Amino acid sequence: MNKEIFFSFSFHLIIIFGATLTLPFLLKKPIDLPPIISVELIQITEKTNIPFAPKAKKIIEKVKEKEKLVSEQAPPKKVKKEKPDSIPLPDEKIEVVKKIEEKKQNPEKVEDKIKQVSEFEKKEMFDLNQIAALIDKSKEEVAKTKKKSNKITQSQDDSVDMLSLTLSEEDALKAQIFGCWSIPLGLPYNENLLVRIKLKLKPDGTVIKSEILDHVRMNKPGQGFYKVLAESALRAIQLCQPLRVPSTGYERWKNLQLNFDAREMLQG
Amino acid sequence: MKKKIQLLIIFIFTLVPFKAISLIEVDITRGNLNPLPIAISPLHIDEDSEKIFFEETKIENLGIEITRVVENNLKTTGLFNPLSKDAFLQKPDIAHLKPRFEDWALIKAQALITGKVTITEKKIRVEFRLWDVLAGKEILALAFTTVPNNWRRVGHIISDKVYERLTGEKGYFDTRIIYVAEEGPKVKRIKKLAIMDQDGFNTKYLTLGNELVLTPRFNPTNQMVTYLSYFRNLPRVYLLDIETGIQEVVGDFPGMTFAPRFSPDGKKIIMSFASDGNSDIYTMDLETRVVERITNHPSIDTSPSYSPDGKYICFNSDRSRYQQIYVMKSDGSDVKRISFGKGLYGTPVWSPRGDLIAFTKLHKGKFYIGVMRTDGSGERLLTENFYQEAPSWSPNGRVLIFYRETKTDEKGEGFSAKLWSIDLTGYNERLVITKTDASDPSWSSLLSK
């Protein structure tokens, strides 16, 4: 009798345990699928055939005019006008100047803002080709501000993996060296011919020093193939430099190791 | 519990330093297969030497001629791109003393050959240097002295040395090719044994053309040749010493012997012997003249070829109904079929490097020259044509030479047989220029080892 109860209890326990593991998926909400965006494929011709293009042009011009008005009504001009309007007594004069200074919160920033807006507008109006340059400038400025503050630099470095290049950085470097490396086709494909070269680089990617890690193997008898491969790898580095290294994070990649392995290519 | 904690601490400490000292590694697994740009500066010869040499050989500038041989050799490999001399900025004599690497790098040269020729006591002395332009250093320097008529060989030896230094494998330029020179209409063909340098120069005929000759093969160790000719209207295997001109019939077999080839040590000949419609493989020791039967099967076993270590033999047989390639131990045991593709396989030849077997394949009326690994895997067909066969390896196992025939037209004209070479990549296919039509080529080993 006890046995039966024990078996029944354990059997139910197993079912409950199984149910707790498997059934909760029923409670999960169905995945919210985003609405489908329909895309119409059109043929691209040399001339545009959009009928409302002139209308759009008018709208753009109107918007620009409005923006111009905004810049004309810039607040600092009002500040300048305040000075000649009132003719205070000598004692009062000092107080008014102080008050004006208090009203101006971060006066330098306001001036900067005004300047930026007006300069941008002028350039947009007259030289559209400079937009790319402006974007680059803004990037540079961001980089400068980050450099100024140590805290920001550290946090930025932490976000990047210290031990590797990003995929795009690595791909750029690889693609460059692929083009420079003439693989000696006479080498056997079934031998271990991995050449490891340690590089010390300048920030612009120029090679300061290159060192073959297994250089002892170069002059050993019967290692002719290794020597040939190592020399070809060194030639590739010489030919390629300055290497396409990332523009930032010099500390990260100033020492770099390149592993040249031709087996994949030699096997065909 | 203590142990567990200790292990955990050790584990953590072993991980931490790795992160601190590790270096960014980038794996370069691809490169370009473009030929290496090489500048071959004409070998400098002084005026006195030039005059003396002209009196002897009627060749105006020996330096330029040797350079031309080297340039042609390196170009035919497909691995080098000799640069145009018009672009050279430095004079040959100065470049030989001290090259201005910037000038050579400017024209995109990665390697540079310089040298000079002098004649003393009726002998020529040729010295050359190989420079790594990008590293800015000399990587090879050699000098040779020989009789003036040997100048082409000097060019071939220089090519071999440069090739070996830059590719890592032995060259194949200082070699000769023996082949069957053919003349006359297809139905009445005159076939003679001929020998030439690998670049097609210095052709010499070894037989007069009275008897039909086929399948000549070089001895890998000396200047002996074995071939098939007719003796009392029966095809028989012959031996010929190229230096003395002495020839002899191999063995005293009652039937016909064919498809001869030397063993890697040059001491044995392996061949097929046919009688009563059955063909088997035999070897004969050239010193003791002892004949040994290797295969014993009712099918046709033929075209045997030794592996470079002499331990295995590949051959073709129709024992599985269709002609396929087999490999066995050199004593005839452990026979294994290695070709399983569609079509018929024949004329297997083991590479001197030992890693591949070249063959002729017939499939859907077309002939292919291909290679496969010694276990039959990795079959690659290198070239396809109406009719082509008899591949023979260069001594470094990189290039195959074979012959190709063209179709005859309705009038029975237009037939030709030419030698062609192709490298293992399958891209570098070239016609080998011969004075007459040619077939059945066989590549010698390096003359200067």
Kindly report the CATH number assigned to the domain that includes residue B151: 3.40.50.10070
The pLDDT tens digits for B283-330 are: 999 889 899 999 999 999 999 999 999 999 999 999 988 999 999 999
Inside any domain, residue B241: yes
Inside any domain, residue B3: no
* Binary contact (B135, A258; C-beta < 8 A): no
The pLDDT tens digits for A57-72 are: 666 666 666 554 444 4
In 3D space, the residue among B403, B390, B394, B388 whose CA is nearest the CA of residue B424 turns out to be B394
Could you give the ipTM of this predicted complex? 0.73
B72's CB contacts (< 8 A; 6+ apart) are B199
The residue extents of the domains of chain A are 167-267
Residues B163 and B185 in one domain: no
Distance from CA of B348 to the nearest CA of A (A): 21
Structure tokens at B183: 């003349």
DSSP type of residue B300? B
Pairs of residues, one from chain A and one from chain B, whose beta carbons lie less than 8 Å apart: 116
* Binary contact (A238, B29; C-beta < 8 A): no
* Binary contact (A253, B24; C-beta < 8 A): yes
Set of chain A residues whose Cβ sits within 8 Å of the Cβ of B27: 259, 261
- B167, B190, B216 — which closes off a domain? B167
Structure tokens at B396: 């470094």
Give the burial class of B209: count Cβ atoms within 10 A of its Cβ; 0-12 exposed, 13-18 middle, 19 or more buried: middle
In 3D space, the residue among B240, B245, B293 whose CA is nearest the CA of residue B271 turns out to be B293
pLDDT beyond 50 at A89: no
Residues B321 and B429 in one domain: yes
Set of chain A residues whose Cβ sits within 8 Å of the Cβ of B32: 178-183
Inside any domain, residue B12: no
The pLDDT tens digits for B41-73 are: 999 998 888 888 888 778 888 899 999 999 999
B132 touches chain A (CB under 8 A): yes
CATH architecture of A167-267: 2-Layer Sandwich (3.30)
* Binary contact (B33, A198; C-beta < 8 A): no
Domain assignment of residue B201, given as a range: 178-443
CATH number at B284 reads 2.120.10.30
The pLDDT tens digits for B249-271 are: 887 677 788 889 999 999 999 99
The upper half-sphere exposure of residue B23, i.e. CA atoms within 13 Å in the direction of its Cβ, equals 15
Residues B278 and B400 in one domain: yes
- B167, B199, B232 — which closes off a domain? B167
Task: Identify the bridge partners of residue B279 per DSSP, sorted by sequence position.
Answer: B274, B300
- Least CB–CB distance from A252: residue in B24, B29, B32: B24
Structure tokens at B129: 């240097």
Percent of the residues in chain B that have a pLDDT greater than 70, as a whole number: 94
Residues B40 and B120 in one domain: yes
- What is the C-alpha separation between A21 and A12, in angstroms, rounded? 14
3-state SS track over chain A: CHHHHHHHHHHHHHHHHHHHHHHHHHCCCCCCCCCCCCCCCCCCCCCCCCCCHHHHHHHHHHHHHHHHHHHHCCHHHHHHHHHHHCCCCHHHHHHHHHHHHHHCCCHHHHHHHHHHHHHHHHHHHHCHHHHHHHHHHHHHHHHHHHHHCHHHHHHHHHHCCCCCCCHHHHHHHHHHHHHHCECCCCCCCCCCCEEEEEEEECCCCCEEEEEECCHHHHCCCCCHHHHHHHHHHHHHHHHHCCCCCCCCCHHHHCEEEEEEECHHHHHC
- Least CB–CB distance from B36: residue in A163, A182, A224: A182
Choose the mutation target among A185, A193, A265 for the interface with B, i.e. most B CBs under 10 Å. A185
The residue whose two tokens read 């209308």 is A55
The pLDDT tens digits for B404-443 are: 998 877 776 778 899 999 998 888 899 999 999 999 999 9
Inside any domain, residue B29: no
- B167, B189, B206 — which closes off a domain? B167
B313's CB contacts (< 8 A; 6+ apart) are B270, B281, B294, B304, B305, B306, B307, B327, B328, B329, B330
Question: Which range has the worst mean pLDDT, A38-47, A170-179, B268-277?
Answer: A38-47
Count of domains forming chain B: 2
What type of residue sits at position A109?
K
pTM above 0.80, yes or no: no
B25 touches chain A (CB under 8 A): yes
Residues B364 and B320 in one domain: yes
Residues B46 and B186 in one domain: no
pLDDT given at position B372:
96
